[in-house]
Amino acid sequence: MPELPEVELHRRHLEKWLAGRTVVDVEVRPAGLLDGNSAQSLKKRLKNVTFEKPVRVGKHIAVPSTKGGALYLHLGMTGNFSRRKAGEPEPRFRALSLFLDDDRVVDFTDARRFGTMGWLAGDDVRAAPPFNALGRDLLDDPPGPKEFLALLSTTKRPVKIALMEQSLVAGLGNIHAAEALWRAKIHPERPANSLGVDEVKRLLTGIRQTFKLVLDDDDGESLAYVEQGAVNPFKIYDRDGEKCPRCKRATIGKFTQGGRSTYVCPVCQPLPKARKRS
């Protein structure tokens, strides 16, 4: 369920659960492995590893080992971390279990198996793939307005599609891209290179705000809003047919863009008529 803020909450949980802990045993269910890794090799690398503070860039996590190298994790669509006491039954859809020296077990579950794990060699994980292909992290290292404007001006693709391009800027997915654009009053189909500097400033603010909504919702153990039966915390995502919470006049619309559902307030986010060239 992860875009940047959800992954950041997971990173904080992993920091509490793993930093300073040593791996006593490992179980791996082979799926979604990083290039050059096998389930067997990963299991071998993890045995007796002592973890340091987990690092996150965009939606990617690395948990460095005190002896060099790092455990790499990407949650895909349905990845999740949880912790149990040793001896308690393993969770459904388990992809990886880390049995630790404090009689706890940290599990990575992944129902849809789009997640990825593996071992990163070397001391500077950020210099290695897949980290070296990422743009600036939108929480910890966001671009300034001028730089963001320059990045967006490199493509004529719809701004929502461009925002989800992890090599441009890292961390936005389908939900938060739609939410940030609504907050910035920018239509998702606007060509990325048509935005002005004021719009880009609003976009940076919108991204900060939509991230904050999730980051403030951490209950310390799990992602509260994702729990079954939880109320949708978002402003327009999955709210087509409802009134826009800002203008309270228009009805939120839904359409497909790049194969994914996109939501828009037709009043707050007008799409300027394309100029006919003559």
Residue 4 vs 18, nearer CB to DNA: 4
Q: Shortest gap between Cβ of 174 and DNA (angstroms)?
A: 4
Q: How big is the chain by its Cα radius of gyration, in Å?
A: 20
Q: Which two tokens stand for residue 145?
A: 């307005």
Residue 49 vs 71, nearer CB to DNA: 71
Tell me which residues touch DNA (CB under 7 A).
1-3, 6, 31, 58-60, 74, 76-77, 93, 111-114, 130, 155-158, 161, 164, 166, 173-175, 226, 228, 258-261
Q: Shortest gap between Cβ of 187 and DNA (angstroms)?
A: 15
Q: Please indicate whether residue 59 is annotated as part of the active site.
A: yes
Q: Which two tokens stand for residue 119?
A: 């071992």
In the structure, how many helices (H) and strands (E) does the chain have? 6, 12
Q: Please indicate whether residue 3 is annotated as part of the active site.
A: yes
DSSP string, 118-159: EEE-SS-GGGSTTGGG--EETTTSPPPHHHHHHHHTT--SBH
Rounded to whole angstroms, how far apart are CA atoms 89 and 249? 51
Q: Please indicate whether residue 260 is annotated as part of the active site.
A: yes
| SS3 label, residue 8 | helix
Q: Shortest gap between Cβ of 163 and DNA (angstroms)?
A: 11
Choose the catalytic residue: 21, 43, 208, 260.
260
Q: Which element (helix H / strand E) includes 215?
A: helix 197-215
Q: Shortest gap between Cβ of 85 and DNA (angstroms)?
A: 23
| Spatial contact of 171 and 204, defined as CB atoms under 8 Å apart | no
Cβ atoms < 10 Å from Cβ of 62: 21
Main-chain dihedrals φ then ψ at residue 254, nearest 5 degrees: -135, 135
Choose the catalytic residue: 59, 83, 160, 190.
59
Rounded to whole angstroms, how far apart are CA atoms 50 and 193? 46
| Spatial contact of 37 and 247, defined as CB atoms under 8 Å apart | no
Q: Which two tokens stand for residue 151?
A: 């990045």
> So which residues are the catalytic ones?
2-3, 59, 260
